[in-house]
């Protein structure tokens, strides 16, 4: 009987296990609020706060933040006057971080082995697994996407149309479809720093074994 009781207790504890955090706030400036939990509760976003799945984040006119996405340490930058919900979902047996935009702009810097990100609003869904890009949405559902590095797959629901947006390009998605053009230098500068990666080889003199370490650094565009 006691074994059965322990098994039930273990299953109950497992069911109450807290889902892993999606991100940690590394930099916060100005007025930002995060709403999460059951029942939902709102609090000011602070540096070092963990972002739970399903959390809604809203930034004020002066609100800015940088989140480190977990577990891969990619980053997400939150611009002023933005509101969105972030959660983790499974699509085609792969985990995807989905950001449901209400308004405003966010910027992503993803690594080569990052989990994919889907940034969407009522009309458009943009997906990427690497690179640096921004997603902007207004209250009418118009999506604007700038790709500094990598590529972005943009799906327009009203026209059932998918377009790949590559480095140096801009896409505008609305009820009429998707328009892709070359982004200007000033537009690409708005995406921020360019993330670079170099590989450094180390050798163990005793075993003569090589180890390769990826080192990231940022430069102005």
- DSSP output for 116-144: EEEEE-SSEEEEESSEEEEEEE-TT--EE
- Domain 20-192 belongs to what topology? Jelly Rolls (2.60.120)
Average pLDDT value for residue range 168-185: 96
pTM for the model stands at 0.79
If residue 8 lies in a helix (H) or strand (E), which one and from where to where? helix 2-15
For residue 7, pLDDT over 60 is answered with no
The full set of domain ranges for the chain reads 20-192
Q: Which residues pair with 134 in a beta bridge?
A: 107, 146
3-state secondary structure of 208: coil
Residue with tokens 């053009």: 181
More confident residue, 41 or 214: 41
Between 112-116, 154-158, 181-185, the lowest mean confidence (pLDDT) is in 112-116
Give per-residue pLDDT as tens, 114-146. 889 999 999 999 999 999 999 999 888 899 999
């Amino acid at each position: 009987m006691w074994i059965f009781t322990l098994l039930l207790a273990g299953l109950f504890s497992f069911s109450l296990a807290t889902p892993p955090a999606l991100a940690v706030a590394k930099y916060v400036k100005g007025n930002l609020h995060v709403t999460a939990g059951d029942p939902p509760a709102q609090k000011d976003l602070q540096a070092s706060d963990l972002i739970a799945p399903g959390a809604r984040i809203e930034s004020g006119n002066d609100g800015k933040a940088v989140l480190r996405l977990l577990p891969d340490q990619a980053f997400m930058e939150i611009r002023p006057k933005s509101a969105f919900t972030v959660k983790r979902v499974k699509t085609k047996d792969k985990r995807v971080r989905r950001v449901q935009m209400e308004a405003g702009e966010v910027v992503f810097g993803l690594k080569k082995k990052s989990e994919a990100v889907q940034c969407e609003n009522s009309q458009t869904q943009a997906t990427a697994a690497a690179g640096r890009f921004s997603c902007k949405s207004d209250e009418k559902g118009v999506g604007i996407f700038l790709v500094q590095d990598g590529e972005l797959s943009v799906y327009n629901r009203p026209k059932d149309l998918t377009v790949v947006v590559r480095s140096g390009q801009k896409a505008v998605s609305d009820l009429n479809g998707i328009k892709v053009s070359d982004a200007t230098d000033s537009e690409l500068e708005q995406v921020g720093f360019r993330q670079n990666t170099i590989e450094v080889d180390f050798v163990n003199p005793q075993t003569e074994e090589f180890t390769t370490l990826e080192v990231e650094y940022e430069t102005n565009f």
